[in-house]
Amino acid sequence: MKRVVVALGGNALGSNLHEQMQAVKTTAKAIADLIEEGYEVILSHGNGPQAGMIRLAMDQLTKLDPTKYPEVPLSVCVAMSQTYIGYDLQNALREELLSRGIQEPVATVATQVVVDKDDPAFKNPTKPIGSFMTKEEAEKKASEMGIDVMEDAGRGYRQVVASPRPKAIVEEETIKALIDAKQTVIACGGGGIPVVRCENDGLSGVPAVIDKDFCSALLAEKVDADMLVILTAVEHVAVNFGKPDQKSLTNVTVDEMKQYIDEKQFAPGSMLPKVEAGIQFAESKPGRKTLITLLEKAKDGLAGNTGTTIQA
Ligand SMILES: Nc1ncnc2c1ncn2[C@@H]1O[C@H](COP(=O)(O)OP(=O)(O)O)[C@@H](O)[C@H]1O
Ligand SMILES: NC(=O)OP(=O)(O)O
């Protein structure tokens, strides 16, 4: 049986409560198709819009009455986003599987991910969270709330936070035990709850949002997956993206992808981390591959019929 880690992008979840409840139904169908095909699926997902929404709500409460509602750390907002998304996703998938006569338990693991306290990302926030704003709105929010804002891959302005690289998955053994028990696991949601190691084996939350594609690559390595599947809003990674001479990439080697990165073919903050995470997994052990494609094309992509495949 082939083991695949599937990383779900923003279009699999929507960006508010109503959109999410609808989106997870379509997502559950695509994932159930893979389980029905015999793949052992481990799911991870993004949380940019959700973590930003929770961050904003918590900040409003603190503003209302700081003694009653003390400031909520960003790591706690990430933890809330993991469970909020996991709750919807595991229910949608459980129902979809049951409708197909598949009695397979689905569980979300609250996953902590260790980062390096000295990661340079803490001094250079680049990870967009929350909803999009105009330049004027962003500048106003930045001065009013003391947040960092940045233009997000040509799509508007968003709040940005630190995004250190994931180093270790605290609940790795729990995830493996659930997989071994034939359960479908949702783990490392939103890149994981960011923590640093401290004295006496302790863990302490840090203000960051880890990139879910990098964390999914680490998860795929740790569970010894055959394939990392990054599902997003495009069927193929492209070169000359958005230009008249745009060309879809189908089967690409790690070295070719590195060449395209040097040519700056992939937008930082959108396609670049996916390609870098894809390379990281593909070169971690001979035979490993990464597929990047559209959510609805996951089954076709795994059958080798579409998408962009990266391999050494
Ligand atoms: N070279 C490229 N090839 C394909 N898509 C690209 C490229 N550069 C940027 N993109 C954009 O990146 C998007 C995926 O990034 P993003 O929306 O941040 O991911 P996610 O699905 O994880 O939320 C695509 O939908 C596409 O608009
Ligand atoms: N954590 C994370 O990478 O979320 P998005 O995919 O929503 O940006």
Q: How would you write 203-257 as a 3-class SS string? A: EEECCCCCCHHHHHHHHHHHCCCCEEEEEECCCCCEECCCCCCCEECCEEEHHHH
In a domain, 150, yes or no: no
Q: 37: which strand partners?
A: none
The protein residue with its alpha carbon nearest to ligand 2, atom 6, reads 46
Q: What are phi and psi of 100, to 5 degrees?
A: -100, 10
Residue 42 lies in a domain: yes
CA of 93 to the centre of ligand 1 (A): 25
Range of the domain at 44: 2-114+167-311
Complex ipTM more than 0.95, yes or no: yes
- Is the residue at 37 inside a domain? yes
Which H helix or E strand runs over 304?
none
Whether residue 211 is contained in a domain is answered as yes
Mean pLDDT computed over every residue of the chain: 96
Tell me if 143 is assigned to some domain: no
Q: How far is the CA of 240 from the centre of ligand 2 (A)?
A: 24
pLDDT of residue 115: 98
pLDDT digits (tens, 9 = 90+) for 20-32: 999 999 999 999 9
Asked whether 265 lines ligand 1 (CB < 6 A), one says yes
pLDDT value at 153 more than 80:
no
Beta bridge partners of 231: 8, 293
Residues tagged active-site = 10-11, 127, 212, 274
- Give the H/E segment covering residue 154: none
CA of 269 to the centre of ligand 1 (A): 9
Domain count, the chain: 1
Would residue 265 count as lying in a domain? Answer: yes
**CA Rg value for the chain:** 19
Count Cβ atoms within 10 A of the Cβ of residue 304 and give its class: 0-12 exposed, 13-18 middle, 19 or more buried: exposed
Assess whether the C-beta atom of 301 lies below 6 angstroms from ligand 2: no
Predicted confidence (pLDDT) per residue in 218-251, tens digit: 999 999 999 999 999 999 999 999 999 999 999 9
pTM of the predicted protein model: 0.96
For residue range 41-90, list pLDDT tens digits in order. Answer: 999 999 999 999 999 999 999 999 999 999 999 999 999 999 999 999 99
Q: What is the CATH number of the domain that holds 223?
A: 3.40.1160.10
CA 189-165-199 angle, to 5 degrees, is 90
DSSP letter for 87, please.
H
Q: Is 134 part of a structural domain of the chain? A: no
Contact between 153 and 127 (Cβ < 8 Å): no
**Ligand of minimum distance to the alpha carbon of 215:** 2
Atom of ligand 2 nearest to the CA of 209: 1
Domain for residue 126, yes or no?
no
Report which bound ligand comes closest to the CA of 214: 2
